[in-house]
Amino acid sequence: MHTHSLLLHGGEHLGLFHGVVWTDSDAASLECTKHKISELLGACYQLAEGHCGGNRKQTDELVDRLIDNWQRTGTVE
């Protein structure tokens, strides 16, 4: 099992949306770090899009609100 990984589940029957795995050495490379962050954001966007029924405007607003909350408070309320 990987020490650092994130699997996002959702949709019908809790299907796997995306899996992201990273290692300690990934943090040493800025390009690798940027790639992993991009993967994480893409996976989170897919979940939000499913929650909003595919409505792009609502998805964008939800993701923006969650990111803003996290930046201000460290949580995604």
Question: Which stretches within the chain are classed as H helix?
Answer: 30-51, 56-73
pLDDT score at 1: 43
**15: β partners:** 10
User: What is the distance of C-alpha 20 from the center of its chain?
Assistant: 9
pLDDT score at 64: 92
- Of 27, 31, 69, 62, the closest CA to residue 44 belongs to 62
Q: Find where tokens 């299907």 sit.
A: 15
pLDDT score at 20: 67
Q: Please give the residue that has the higher pLDDT: either 1 or 40.
A: 40
Reported as a single tens digit per residue, the pLDDT across 10-48 is: 555 455 555 666 677 766 788 888 887 887 788 788 888
- DSSP for residue 53: T
Domain locations along the chain: 4-73
Q: Find where tokens 């992993």 sit.
A: 36
Put simply, whether the predicted model's pTM sits higher than 0.85 gets the answer no
